[in-house]
Structure 1
């Protein structure tokens, strides 16, 4: 019944904007149609009244029917389906190849073992070490996989230490810090989260600004590491953490030490990845080495006989088709919002006078709006579909560079710790070691720090990178 109600509400919202809502001066009815489709899809995504993929199919149906975009066109950006709309989803197949290959090896457990050695018997160092280790792993594999690995290892320490659900401060601190670090680490590299490459593509498409692979890494890896450390330190202090018994650490450390020397498949994976990563960085200076083509080529190479980094079954298991389809749908929605002029109208109406604001204030507003949107829309791609077109429109009057917009979209469109309803937060929260009330009181801090630091840091750092 709840799903049916959500579908009816979504339909009424769409019909209101399609037929009833007054059209502001300077806009056409198609602009209202675009808003109606966006809001209806957000309702369906958030409530999961329809499968995510079916909602995306609805986008492809409604955009041509309402006249926002033609079904097909030879011009880039001029239709629902065009060649550029497939680049990001195909690139994602490389991202999931990396994630699947890494997760099929002992590499994540070796990283966890290094974090335990760093921590010793210090609870503060343990939480910070796990935060940084989760963050680093999340830069190269899916955020969900990184959080699942490290929360599992972390809670095994708590259980070996005799921790009690609802009372163990160590468990609470690890639950929040690992979840936050998994999301934050994903912003570090373009392959850390599919939203990153989506935002880079949107900015290049609509602003003509190419954010290179190296530039993204140079800007966002330091930010991710710093915020992960701050987040871990915060969690180690706001929760009342019990001491860790040496034997509890010994039990877990012994399990992690069982993997021995690096295997042949691990060595092949590292060589494969270093070459691919190196070529993507080289694309900064040699445009002929297109990072997309590198991703496509190395996806194929991963399955060449003799290399075989992962099996077909492992690969298929690691492809979240819902996310890939949502990204395709989001690109179509963004095209509609920008093309109909509704994003520019909203900015010029609601944020009138922004052109006179200091740059720092403009960027802070962009960060704040994206953060609030992600709290309200706990799914990354829909958040980006709203935030990035608005920021692009705001940039047209304020002069904010495209690299800042791409980074804000990837960072705050991909990270929110306010509520444990984002899938990354949920995978840790649902273990049952922390209450909703305590999460609400203490888990907000990493996102706020990320928001403020992004506003202060991104304009300066992207400026140094030449944007």
Structure 2
């Protein structure tokens, strides 16, 4: 480890420790339990460690579980019980799906096919990349979707000899891939671990359940509207310096070759899983979304199917993400049990009962966008926001779904600065600076809030999700 990295980690640990003891020794608020007060100190310390990465993310996640027992905000049995949730297993299953799709090269096949339709016009290529990223991200984690299309994009930029930091086309292409990955991830509950985690937290906190198909009725219109808007905004901020590329990579399209046996098997299994997910809208008890994902992931390894091996698949499983999701879920439920969530609501949203639902949704969505400046990790945003918002809704007599869904959707709206793991994938290539994302990201975020608010007020009641 470099001296600079060691120094940065040490600073993060010192800040987290100082914040922990500062909060711990402050007077306990009259309306907050002592357990909730101690949990707040632990939560703030863990947030600082997660955001600064002063400790490895999995290590902080382990600390979040053991720390609850250490400070007396929950027993170890309670903390560990809250750690294991359906979200953990759903995300594990989706890592398996993503690994199998990559290994059989189905993702590359789709990408090359889409590029073959775009021609050599750089504006159309950008749109093709954004559509492709969004489609892949709608059924896979944002990270592999972004990584796949970035690799294809880098091939084009190197082909045209476009250097990092000096090419507007390189800048807009890398930004477009990142933003489209975030947007595409909200199309279906399976598009991001953030979605499933938020929905499970909402249900666990007594806020109600959102079926797979009804989520799609909100998510797909958002994606369909936001992708062209984002494409237009990015081109206005960073018009490409070249109008055409010399060679369309889609001309070397492997999708023109016959499907392999492995690809056919994966398509049949994945297609069946998606159909069952949709059918779960009518049969929620018999067709649990997580159960379907788990069984589908097992089918890949059955004798006679065997499209991959566990040794290969396990290489692509993000155990650090799984540990963080479990830890965040545990802290979120503990904040409910100790009264911390209710106290946060009464402190921040005091008087919100007199505000119209329209402005409440706008305020909550906007706050969730802005909180990414200090909490750039989607699952953590859910943990910080959902418990108090559900408590707020109950306190003021509003349906929790109406106020909590904007949080879950907007937890993926993380393109003001490249601080999220998805954005860091493209940012690391040097084609855009950190501030290059801010202004177009801000404009797109405004459209995100407007569109989401309209859907919350029009589509959610029509779907019967609120009385």
Query: Where on the TM-score scale, by shorter chain, does this alignment land: which range?
Result: over 0.9
Q: Call closer, same or farther: CA 1:256–1:430 in 2, change over 3 Å.
A: farther
Establish whether residue 310 from structure 1 lines up as the match of residue 308 from structure 2. Answer: yes
Establish whether residue 54 from structure 1 lines up as the match of residue 59 from structure 2. Answer: yes
Establish whether residue 13 from structure 1 lines up as the match of residue 28 from structure 2. Answer: no
C-alpha separation between the residues in 2 aligned to 1:398 and 1:309? 52
Per-residue CA deviation, residues 373-395 of structure 1 (Å, 9 max, x unaligned), is 22211112222110111211221
Shift of 1:272: 0.4
Establish whether residue 45 from structure 1 lines up as the match of residue 43 from structure 2. Answer: no
* Residues 278-297 of structure 1 mapped to structure 2, 5 A cutoff: 278-286=275-283, 287-297=285-295
Q: Which runs of 5+ in 1 are unaligned?
A: 73-78
Name the residue aligned to 2:356: 358
SS in 1 for 2:76: coil
* Residues 329-408 of structure 1 mapped to structure 2, 5 A cutoff: 329-408=327-406
Shift of 1:280: 2.0
C-alpha separation between the residues in 1 aligned to 2:449 and 2:156? 32
Establish whether residue 263 from structure 1 lines up as the match of residue 269 from structure 2. Answer: no
Per-residue CA deviation, residues 74-96 of structure 1 (Å, 9 max, x unaligned), is xxxxx213278332111211111
Name the residue aligned to 1:112: 111
TM-score by length of 1: 0.92
Shift of 1:440: 3.2
C-alpha separation between the residues in 2 aligned to 1:400 and 1:125? 44
C-alpha separation between the residues in 2 aligned to 1:309 and 1:401? 45
Name the residue aligned to 2:91: 92
SS in 2 for 1:191: helix
Shift of 1:359: 0.6
Name the residue aligned to 2:165: 166
SS in 2 for 1:101: helix
Establish whether residue 175 from structure 1 lines up as the match of residue 166 from structure 2. Answer: no
Q: CA contact under 8 A between 1:144 and 1:424: conserved in structure 2? A: yes
C-alpha separation between the residues in 1 aligned to 2:256 and 2:20? 55
Shift of 1:258: 6.8
Q: Call closer, same or farther: CA 1:233–1:393 in 2, change over 3 Å.
A: same
- Given the alignment, which residue of 400, 403, 410 partners 1:412? 410
TM-score by length of 2: 0.92
Name the residue aligned to 2:237: 238
Name the residue aligned to 2:137: 138
Q: CA contact under 8 A between 1:334 and 1:386: conserved in structure 2? A: yes
Name the residue aligned to 1:272: 269
Establish whether residue 68 from structure 1 lines up as the match of residue 73 from structure 2. Answer: yes
C-alpha separation between the residues in 2 aligned to 1:110 and 1:382? 34
* Residues 189-208 of structure 1 mapped to structure 2, 5 A cutoff: 189-208=188-207
Query: After the TM superposition, which of the residue ranges 333-342 and 258-267 deviates more from structure 2?
Result: 258-267
C-alpha separation between the residues in 2 aligned to 1:357 and 1:245? 51
Shift of 1:275: 1.2
C-alpha separation between the residues in 2 aligned to 1:417 and 1:278? 31
Per-residue CA deviation, residues 7-28 of structure 1 (Å, 9 max, x unaligned), is 222122222222x111112222
C-alpha separation between the residues in 2 aligned to 1:7 and 1:84? 24
C-alpha separation between the residues in 1 aligned to 2:103 and 2:413? 26
C-alpha separation between the residues in 2 aligned to 1:339 and 1:313? 40
C-alpha separation between the residues in 2 aligned to 1:258 and 1:392? 47
Q: Call closer, same or farther: CA 1:403–1:350 in 2, change over 3 Å.
A: closer
C-alpha RMSD over aligned residues: 2.0
Shift of 1:60: 1.5
Q: CA contact under 8 A between 1:161 and 1:245: conserved in structure 2? A: no
C-alpha separation between the residues in 1 aligned to 2:398 and 2:173? 37
